[in-house]
Amino acid sequence: MNLTIRPIDAHSVSPTEALAAVLAPELAATEAEIGARMASPVGLIPDVAHHLVDAGGKRLRPLLTLAAARTCGGGGQAAVKLATAVEFIHTATLLHDDVVDGSSLRRGKRTANLIWGDKASVLVGDFLFARAFNLMVETNSLHVLDILAKAASTIAEGEVLQLATTSRGEASRSRYYQVIEAKTAALFAAACKAGAITAGAPLEWVEALATFGLRLGLAFQLVDDALDYGGLSQVLGKNTGDDFREGKATLPLIIAFERSEGDERLFWQRVLARQHRDGDIDQALSILQAHGAVEATLQEARNHIQAAKTALALLPEGVIPTLLADLADYVVDRHT
């Protein structure tokens, strides 16, 4: 065989890809486990699950579990099972989210609810959620079960809180942070924590990684919510503007609302009451821009990344903490 040696271009590799390369053996085992454990004699289950799991997700949450385990001394097969469980909990949440939001696109593909219907999405989500617990039980660790089961109920609580807040038309910063900590950051934190615990890490490392995950998760959601308004370019694509249309008060809207007066404030109140008119989104983008609301949201994300990296400093130096810090920066920087 004729092999051509290609030089590695450091700039073409994202920190996520670099982390995936370092964790290649356990990540490959996790991919195999994901495939094996979504199998079922009921063909609709793997059909729906594969659609979502294969849709080009970056496996960020399982990577966190594997990275936390490796940096704390390993974790072996238990870490692989936990990483798989974390991905299944995440996938189940996405399936149910898309039903709840009536979404038709995710990661550029038609959503499962659009292809197979809401019923299949609800039930296959339930299956993946239950399967996640099967995997956790197999690790024989009540401690990680406790952490991930608590994260699971926190996620559901956050989703219900978001639903209730949206239907009341609230625009509250503290309520927003409560929602994103529960629905997003809790699983990032639990993914890190479970990985550390399964590797037998001392309490100090476990807590450091949990803080890292929590702050990374908050930043991740803030960036996601900034991108839904087109990020700094504030140009909307076909996957953006959903939060505004659904009347979800995310941080860019909340900051613009806080900084608005007079007519602008009346505009937001009408929007939050979901009395939409044509051209509302353009007016919203223009007010957001005038008040620097997207930039302010990204700045809050940067603050959380800073806290995430400070937590990492409590771990012994090594390639994994370095890559985790790079990954944390990358979550915000690639969009600024």
Chain contacts with a second copy (rule: CB under 8 A): 40-45, 96, 99-100, 118-120, 122-127, 129-131, 133-134, 136-137, 140, 142, 145-146, 149-150, 152-153, 155-157, 159-161, 163-164
Helices 44-53 and 76-101, packing angle to 10 deg: 90
Nearer to a second copy, 74 or 102 (CB): 102
Looking at the Cβ atoms of 159 and 242, the one nearer to a second copy is 159
Give me the least distance between CB of 224 and a second copy, in Å please: 19
Gap between the Cα atoms of 319 and 142, Å rounded: 30
Measured from the CB of residue 82, what is the shortest distance to a second copy in angstroms?
A: 14
Which lies closer to a second copy via its Cβ, residue 61 or residue 304? 61
The pair of three-digit structure tokens given for residue 279, joined into one six-digit string: 């051209």
Minimum distance between the CB of residue 107 and a second copy, rounded to whole angstroms? 21
Residue with smaller CB distance to a second copy, 24 or 130: 130
Minimum CB separation of residue 125 from a second copy in Å reads 8
| Least distance between a second copy and beta carbon 250 (Å) | 18
- The pair of three-digit structure tokens given for residue 98, joined into one six-digit string: 């898309």
Helix intervals (H) in 11-168: 15-22, 24-37, 44-53, 60-71, 76-101, 112-116, 118-138, 142-168
Identity of the amino acid at 282: D
Residues in the chain: 336
Quote the CA–CA distance of 322 and 216 in Å, as a whole number. Answer: 14
Give me the least distance between CB of 294 and a second copy, in Å please.
Answer: 27
**CB of 139: closest distance to a second copy in angstroms?**
9
Shorter beta-carbon distance to a second copy: residue 40 or 336: 40
Task: Determine the Cα–Cα distance for residues 49 and 193; give it in Å rounded to an integer.
Answer: 26
Nearer to a second copy by Cβ, of 18 and 145: the residue is 145
Q: Which is nearer to a second copy, 7 or 41 (CB)?
A: 41
Q: Are β-strands 109-110 and 105-106 bridged in parallel, bridged antiparallel, or unpaired?
A: antiparallel
Tokens read off for 55: 């849709």
Instruction: Taking each helix axis as running N to C, give the angle between helix 15-22 and helix 60-71, from 0 to 180 degrees, rounded to the nearest 10.
Output: 50
Give how far the C-alpha of residue 41 lies from the chain's centroid of Cα atoms, to the nearest Å: 30
